[in-house]
A and B are shown apart, each in its own frame.
Chain A
Amino acid sequence: MAVADQTYTVGSENKPTKTKYQVKVINDKCIGAASCVAVAAMTFKLNDANKADIIDQDGNVDSEKLLAAQSCPTAAIEVIDMATGEKIWPK
């Protein structure tokens, strides 16, 4: 079995001016695994209680914010499309 597409994203090189996805952390679900910080470091950081905080909604591009949510082991991040109001993640 082979591995493909290993990703070591630490944040966008070019900070987007405005993104359409809004992310929200469900505090009770967050276990501080920090996958969101590894994937979208300009959007998320861990606070002193080891929970994810949002530092900048426009810190990373939408695809990175979505991947940050998808990679959260406890599905503690919701992604909303601000243009439509649709919840993109979790489905």
Chain B
Amino acid sequence: MAGNYWQFDLESPEELPFLAGQYVSVRAADDGRRRSYSIASVPDGNKIELLIDVTPMGLGSKFFLARNEGDTVEILGPLGRFTLPPSPKKVLFVATGSGIVPFRPMIRELLEKRGFTDEIHLDWGMRYEEDLFWIDEFKKLEADHPNFKFDVVLSKPTKKWSACSGHVNDCLIKHRVSWEGWEAFLCGNQEMIEEVAVTLSGLGVRREDVHFEKFF
């Protein structure tokens, strides 16, 4: 996809029902060690997409980099409860790095399947511009759906970068003085989740309206 981010398309012999935001556990070693990956695609019959950040070059990275087209992998799933409620409020998604993955199907489900018309805001923090992916897709969603707003925040921008820079936390404060009445979904590194949860609490978001996935 870009930089150290790779997309893998998996096809199951059977229907693979799941909810946007869920993950699968992939058997990554013969001794039973597994790694968890959020599903990057919207529910679509027997296919799923996984987005793997191979930067850590750990067990999961090496396992996927060693796969060839047509190989078989064993997955367990769908798993997880980081999913959309039946009737969300205005929705804020905050991600860093590959934490964007569960939000892609969640946002597409809200906009394209549910016809959600209330506001949706996505803040995505990355280090470098060259690592960005799915930008055209999010821009198209933004163009097609006036209620969807999308911002990228770079922590290591070049001089020509004119959008938000720093941490996602900084960008949130710039956008609004209050996020009261919003429901927030956070996914990414643990420090970000803790910082943003505190920030949002100070900006009017109720604790029970902040949902997060911490296993990145």
Contacts and interface: CB of A to CB of B under 8 A. Distances in A.
A3 B10 contact: yes
A33 interface: yes
Given A33-B36, A33-B213, A71-B34, 12 more contacts: A1-B72, A2-B72, A2-B73, A3-B16, A4-B72, A4-B73, A32-B81, A33-B80, A35-B80, A66-B32, A70-B32, A73-B23
A71 B76 contact: yes
B81 A6 contact: no
Chain B interface size band reads: 20 to 34
A34 B73 contact: no
A26 B189 CA distance: 21
Interface of B: 8-14, 16, 23, 25, 31-34, 36, 48, 67, 69-77, 79-82, 213-215
Contacts of B213: 33
A67 interface: yes
A35 B71 contact: no
B66 to A, nearest CB: 12
Contact of A2 (B31, B71, B80): B71
**Which 3 A-B pairs give the minimum distances between C-beta atoms?**
A73-B215, A73-B36, A3-B12
Contact of A5 (B48, B74, B79): B74
Interface residues of A, number: 22
Q: Which of B10, B32, B73, B214 has the most CB atoms of chain A within a 10 A radius of its CB?
A: B32
A1 B8 CA distance: 8
Interface in A32-90: 32-35, 38-39, 66-67, 70-71, 73-74, 89
Contacts of A5: 74-76
Nearest to A7: B76
Contacts, number: 84
A9 to B, nearest CB: 9
Contacts of B67: 1
B11 to A, nearest CB: 6
Q: Which of A4, A6, A38 has the most CB atoms of chain B within a 10 A radius of its CB?
A: A6
Given A35-B25, A71-B25, A73-B36, A2 B12 contact: yes
B6 to A, nearest CB: 12
Contacts of A39: 76
Contacts of A1: 8-11, 67, 69-73
A4 B27 CA distance: 10
A35 B23 CA distance: 9
A34 B31 contact: no
22 contacts: A1-B69, A1-B71, A1-B73, A2-B13, A3-B12, A3-B16, A3-B75, A4-B74, A6-B76, A7-B76, A33-B213, A34-B80, A34-B81, A35-B25, A35-B76, A66-B32, A71-B36, A71-B76, A71-B79, A73-B23, A73-B25, A73-B36
